[in-house]
Amino acid sequence: MHKFLRAVGFSMCQSKKEIKEMLGVLLKEAGEILEFSRGTEKLCQLSIELAPGIGICIVGEKSDDGSMEVEYYFPYLIGKEVTSTAECSIQRHTERETFAGLLDEYRVGISLIYYLSNSIEYRLRRHKKENCNVRGSRLSGLSVKGKILFPIQKTAVQIEKSKIASKTRSNLLEAAKNGDADAIDTLTIEDIDLYSQVTKRVEKEDLYSIIDSCFMPCGIECDQYSVIGEIKEIDQKENYLTGEIIYDFTVEACDLTFHVGINKNDLIGEPKVGRRFKGQIWMQGVADF
């Protein structure tokens, strides 16, 4: 059973039998169908939209009589905006022929890895020897546990200074990656100063009044992250099969804007634009070729 099924409104599915029954119903509701043939292999991807931009993707092998043997499935949330135009390489997973996107995103300060939602499209392009260069990645995350935090009060001057500092740091990280010794030294000094400031402030202040936003790897799986980000937009959607409510947040964390989907029952607090979302997400994305 996929851990993040409840994030798209299937919290009632608790066993393999229930999952099998649910997939059988969804196969009859199939919307967009993408087929990939290579020799005797006939792979088929079915996307079933349960709410605008939210659904289940089922991938399996299609037989000559039209039936389909399900190989795997995953819940998805499609982001509308391009999150990053940074250089992106695509790598195959070991277990099955699914793929991950690897972004060299300087704004986050780490190599950002996401599960590629449109892997069949990538396989088709590669099979036809078409251009597979990624010009943009539309990222989104699914969460099964989240909280709403109050925002940090800032003046217009502080917001402007924060944007300039973030841009400067991104430039320094890029220079450091290219081997600039001065940039490496500057970043090291900045980190030491930051650690000193945080150590002093944490004695008298709450941790979440110091940390405005964060984006860091979480757990042992490379595409899961712990995030704190400002909510820019809130869209409330309903799974038409189960009637469960799903929040689709547009979140900005570390200057990255992406979507986060979470079941209303899994969210603690009242979401409002300007407040912050805190939670662990499974990062997925669509690569625009």
The tens digit of pLDDT for each residue in 211-250 reads 888 889 988 888 999 999 999 999 999 999 899 999 999 9
**pLDDT at res. 186:** 84
At residue 281 the predicted structure's pLDDT band, cuts being 50, 70 and 90, is: very high
* Mean pLDDT (whole number) for 118-123: 89
Helix/strand/coil percent split, the chain, to 5: 25, 40, 30
Write the pLDDT tens digit of every residue in 10-51.
988 878 888 888 888 887 776 667 777 766 677 888 888 999
Residue 19, class by beta-carbon neighbours within 10 Å (0-12 exposed, 13-18 middle, 19+ buried)?
middle
* Mean pLDDT (whole number) for 265-287: 95
* Mean pLDDT (whole number) for 261-279: 96
Write the pLDDT tens digit of every residue in 129-178.
888 899 999 999 999 999 999 998 877 787 777 778 777 777 777 777 77
pLDDT at 184 over 70: yes
Higher pLDDT, residue 285 or 211: 285
Entry field: residues in the chain:
289
What is the value of pTM for the model shown? 0.87
Encoded tokens for 40:
């005797």
Contact 252, 233 (CB under 8 A): no
**pLDDT at res. 31:** 66
Q: Which of 239, 218, 236 is nearest to 273 (CA)?
A: 236
Write the pLDDT tens digit of every residue in 60-117.
887 777 677 888 899 999 988 899 998 899 999 988 889 999 998 877 877 899 999 9
User: Mean pLDDT, the chain, as a whole number?
Assistant: 87
Contact 165, 187 (CB under 8 A): no
